[in-house]
């Protein structure tokens, strides 16, 4: 919708939505092609997961949290919900470790 409202072009909005939607399957197929038949070492997987985790943390801290605070300048719910989300994730990780 932002592309449509910004450009007033339905086809441009549809085109960008298509590009956005097809990027993940293409990335998955490229990943499958790279990993198929290769026995990657655990350290290679650890490096890849660490890299992706770093990107997710960067996006959360640099983009999502400031945007949430911009929409709620009084900060009545943003910080509490952020801490609650961290607590839920930490608890679930702890439960998965205890479970086995």
Q: Are residues 25 and 46 in the same domain?
A: no
The more confident residue out of 3 and 30 is 30
- pLDDT, tens only, 51-75: 999 999 999 999 999 999 998 988 8
Looking at the 3D structure of the chain, how many domains does it have? 2
Q: What is the pLDDT of residue 38?
A: 74
Q: Which stretches of the chain are DSSP H helices?
A: 2-7, 10-35, 42-59, 65-71, 78-99
Q: What is the pLDDT of residue 36?
A: 80
For tokens 């939505």, what's the residue? Answer: 17
Q: Are residues 52 and 79 in the same domain?
A: yes
Q: Are residues 100 and 74 in the same domain?
A: yes
Residue numbers of the domain that contains 85? 41-100
Q: Are residues 98 and 52 in the same domain?
A: yes
The model's confidence at residue 94, banded by pLDDT at 50, 70 and 90, is very high
Q: Are residues 56 and 66 in the same domain?
A: yes
pTM, entire model? 0.57
Q: Are residues 52 and 21 in the same domain?
A: no
Q: Are residues 56 and 99 in the same domain?
A: yes
């Amino acid at each position: 919708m932002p592309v449509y409202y910004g450009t007033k072009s339905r086809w441009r909005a549809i085109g960008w939505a298509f590009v956005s939607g097809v990027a993940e399957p293409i990335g998955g197929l490229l990943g499958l092609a790279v990993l198929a038949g290769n026995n990657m070492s655990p350290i290679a997987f650890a490096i890849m997961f660490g890299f992706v985790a770093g990107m997710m943390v960067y996006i959360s801290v640099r983009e999502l949290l400031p945007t949430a605070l911009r929409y709620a300048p009084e900060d009545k719910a943003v910080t509490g919900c952020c801490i609650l989300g961290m607590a839920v994730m930490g608890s679930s990780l702890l439960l998965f470790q205890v479970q086995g």
